[in-house]
Structure 1
Amino acid sequence: MIHVVGGGLAGSEAAYQIAQAGYDVTIHEMRPYVMTGVHRTDKMAELVCSNSLKSVDLKNASGLLKKELRDLGSFVLDVAYRHAIPGGKALVVDRESFSDEITSILKSHPRIKIVREEITKIPDNDIWIIATGPATSDRLYEWILSTFGGGAYFFDAVAPVIDANTIDMSKIFFGNRYDDGKDYINCPMNKEEYLRFHEALVKAEVLPVEEFDKKLLFSRCQPIEEIAKSGVDAMRYGPLRPVGLGNFYAVVQLRRDNYAGTLFNIVGFQTRLKWPEQDRVFRMIPGLENAKIVRYGVMHANVYIEPYRLTDEFFRAKGRNIFFAGQITGVEGYVESIATGLYVGRNVVRMIEGRELEKFPINTMIGALIDYVTKTPKLQPMYANFGILRRNS
């Protein structure tokens, strides 16, 4: 029997790949009986942070990764494209309908069984894939650490989502960076507005997070207030950069969150501000003076293992029939998680069939990413980028 622990992006992909190859697989998902600090539903492949799967441009590493996954028959990515909504050069999805279809397909598959329970330790029998993501339950993560050692974590955050009906459309404009698209809401700021906003943001009250002072922050998901504290112009060279949008001092962008266009999330505004402070400070943004936040930003700890110490190059625990997939392996990003799920799912099938396990070439984006996270001591989470891509030696 094959078991997948966790019904996120990686777990869904791995389970589907195995089932499509003709083998029975059980997905163990603890939600809704045990919820995490960031999930809101019990659906498979719920997108808890952004609803963007990043660029589709083949000149971008994320676009190349998507191309490779589609060529390999990624189930989750195919569903994502079916639920794409306007997002410029990014693959942006309606998170609700996306998760709904993933859940429906997995529930109706004749070889997939979904069991709602928390797995706190892995037995010695059968084949197991741990794809519990960065929000792995405390008890399972404690078992992993006590059994294998080598765990680590970093802090991540979620951006708030705004009710579109509460945005003052007279103060904003629609547009994309560098092209003629109209996919994003843009809230322009002059210098005075920006400086007032910056001062309020750096002085706002934040929720205390244990050990946050250790600065274990992933560079792409830093809270907006931490970016602001690093320098008065830091936001203008980061998420509020006006480049490609016109002659403005700073611009706050909002990205559509659903098909209907009734919800928009504030791009780059991951935060740990207290909820009343989010209302007060973010309403200083032109056009958001009366904005209603329907989903507040939150911060959480993301856990991961160190594959260099724990697994082989196939994410298989040394000496055990236990595989790891998804962000718990140290990859960062939605599509990167899908890639590891596909990689592990295909190799579990090969192992069952007595075939040699498949290693992807290191001159592919998937192969380079897996090579990097499995062979790097003291790993920091890594996303697809051309810096890790290298030629075969």
Structure 2
Amino acid sequence: MQYDVHIIGGGLAGSEAAWQLARRGLRVRLSEMRGAGDMTPAHQTAQLAELVCSNSFRSDDDVSNAVGLLHHEMRQLDSLVMAAAAKARVPAGSALAVDREVFSAEVEAALAALANLTIVRERIDVLPQAGLTIVATGPLTAEALAQSIGAATGADSLAFFDAIAPIVYRDSINMDVAWMASRWDKGAEASLAMGGDGRDYINCPMTREQYLAFREGLLAGDKTEFKQWEANTPYFDGCMPIEVMAERGEETLRFGPMKPVGLDNPHWATPEHPNGRWPYAVVQLRQDNKLGTLWNMVGFQTKLKHAEQVRLFRTIPGLENAEFARLGGLHRNTFLNSPTLLDRQLRLKSAPHVRFAGQITGCEGYVESSAVGLLAGLMTACELTGRSWENPPRTTALGALLAHITGDAEADSYQPMNVNFGLFPPLHEVKKKQRKAAYTDRAKEDLAQWKAVNPALVSNG
């Protein structure tokens, strides 16, 4: 089939871009190297839109959380990723978490059903010299294509490490020690609405002595050695390996992934404290699949060697006999210095027939990657049909994220960024406690107006 646009990369961003284009009647070729004999260090399957790190799309609260607002905006624009996530959702309090296999299968089935979309299992080694192209190869772009991109940009890509959290089999967790609860019972109403019981996390308690011993084990544990090409690559704070957090101070973990507040341990109940007492530290696990058989260790990204992970994590109360469906890992992410290299429509300034989308642009997170893919698809659709394109207002989550990538950020210090209200035009006149709601109200109103005056946003599907 002849095609109007070539998308390279079948991850979240590439899949979302392909959906937006094909739903508008445009012919799309989607190239994905997994399934053609190639694999990345982090992927385990050839499925499109495979989730390689957490199974969480983070908070689904669209009133007080910027990523929840981004969920809302993507749903308003017919996002395939958000639709698939709804079908694959598993209980996780106020967060949007999914069954990984169900999610990927939903994305792939939806794309395969589009007659004007061709999915080709092939590795692309050279950046196309002509024809509209979207590069969405993510942070693990194959070496040959990365070199071709480097030649076209005339600049070295930046890089950082992204670590993967372990997954535990539910029936190997000792519930005589651990217990089910959400912090402060937050998200209980949303959990109940989707079949949960309002207690969506498994919590493993630690005394002070146990916590300090565990931290010492992290510091002393046998860790993966860096390869020469990985030397001096910084970590992204949003996905910091747990042992690196441990190095930052005795209390760092207790103010991070092992925070105990809002979690009363019923196993420690006494007449004086019938609801239990707060442990000194807590390890939380979140449901990873719809069956509830797999649970991931929240915030426990790690570069510990596998044998060391098994030994050390089984010292956590409740995980004494833990069996692991997947152990943690570490991979390097690369991304462009987008504020310098890309224009306001994600086009490569030196080769404007090429757009970039997803994590390779320097956004961080599943939702952000998908959102940039959505925008790249809409921009390309307008270009192909001769319609004008206007970027979403910077007061919206989509607009704020896009502005950060394409010019608002300092090019000399550009780093991966999750969407957050700090990227939005400020509302200093609003009281601090009311500011998040004000950002959200403004964003929803401005997005609705933007949609109303941009008929090109309406899908033909």
Decide whether aligned partners of structure 1 residues 278 and 173 sit closer, same or farther in structure 2, where only a CA change above 3 A counts: same
1:241 matched residue in structure 2:
259
Q: 2:382 is paired with a residue of what secondary structure?
A: helix
SS of equivalent to 1:320: strand
For 2:87 and 2:140, the matched residues in 1 are separated by: 27
Match of 1:267 in 2: 298
User: Which residue does 1:29 correspond to in 2?
Assistant: 32
> What is the alpha-carbon distance in structure 2 between the residues aligned to residue 101 and residue 189 of structure 1?
39
Counterpart amino acid of 2:134? I
- Shift, 1:123, TM fit: 2.2
Corresponding position: 1:366 with 2:372? no
Aligned counterpart in structure 2 of residue 19 of structure 1, from 19, 22, 31: 22
Tell me the SS of whatever aligns to 2:348.
coil
Aligned amino acid, residue 126 of structure 1:
G
Alignment CA distance shift 1:30-1:213 (3 Å): closer
Alignment equivalent of 1:53, drawn from 31, 49, 57: 57
Q: Distance in 2 between matches of 1:78 and 1:101?
A: 9
**Aligned residue runs from structure 1 range 113-124, under 5 A:** 113-124=118-129
Pairs within 5 Å for 1:233-382: 233-246=251-264, 247-318=278-349, 319-375=351-407, 376=409, 377-378=411-412, 379-382=414-417
- Which whole-Å CA distance do the structure 2 matches of 1:73 and 1:120 have between them? 32
CA positional deviation for 1:290: 1.0
1:221 counterpart = 2:239: yes
CA contact (8 A) 2:159 2:233 kept: no
Normalising by structure 1, we get a TM-score of 0.97
1:51·1:95 contact (CA, 8 Å) conserved in 2? yes
1:125 Cα offset (Å):
2.4
What is aligned with 2:436? none
Structure 1, unmatched stretches of 5+, are none
Cα offsets for 1:97-120 (capped at 9, x unmatched): 010111111122101101111101
Of structures 1 and 2, the larger Rg is shown by 2
TM-score normalized by the length of structure 2: 0.83
CA distance in 1 between counterparts of 2:80 and 2:384 reads 21
Once the 2 structures are TM-superposed, how far is the Cα of residue 320 of structure 1 from its aligned partner?
Answer: 2.6
The structure 2 residue matched to 1:165, chosen from 155, 168, 171, is: 171
Aligned equivalents of 2:219 and 2:84: distance in 1?
Answer: 40
| Residue 153 of structure 1: aligned partner | 159
SS at match of 1:41: coil
AA at the equivalent of 2:346: F
- How far apart, in 2, do the equivalents of 1:123 and 1:134 lie? 19
Tell me the distance in 1 between the aligned counterparts of 2:341 and 2:38: 27
In 2, the alpha carbon distance for the partners of 1:357 and 1:307 equals 20
| SS of alignment partner, residue 176 of structure 2 | helix
Helix, strand or coil at the partner of 2:138: coil
Q: Distance in 2 between matches of 1:264 and 1:254?
A: 6
Query: Which residue of the partner structure matches residue 443 of structure 2?
Result: none
1:362, CA displacement in angstroms? 0.6
Which of 402, 421, 431 pairs up with 1:386? 421
Report sequence identity in percent: 46
- Asked whether the equivalents of residues 362 and 391 of structure 1 are also in contact (C-alpha less than 8 Å), the reply is no
The AA in structure 2 aligned to 1:121 is V
Conserved in 1, the CA contact under 8 Å of 2:8 and 2:124? Answer: yes
Q: In structure 2, what residue type is equivalent to 1:232?
A: E
Residue equivalent to 1:82: 87
Which amino acid is the alignment partner of residue 41 of structure 2?
Answer: G
Residue 53 of structure 1: how far off its partner (Å) = 0.1
Q: 2 CA distance for matches of 1:107 and 1:233? A: 49
Dislocated runs of 4+, deviation >4 Å: none
Q: Matched residue of 2:343: which SS?
A: coil
2:59 alignment partner AA: S
- Equivalent residue number for residue 203 of structure 1: 220
Paired with 1:115 and 1:213, the residues of 2 have a C-alpha distance of 35
AA aligned to 2:225 is P
Q: Which amino acid aligns with 1:78?
A: A
The number of residues matched between the two structures is 392
Q: Secondary structure at the match of 2:158?
A: strand
CA distance in 2, matches of 1:76, 1:235: 32
Residue 143 in structure 1 maps to residue 148 in structure 2: yes
TM-superposed deviation, 1:149? 2.8
User: Per the alignment, do residues 122 and 213 of structure 1 end up closer, same or farther by CA in structure 2, a change over 3 Å counting?
Assistant: closer
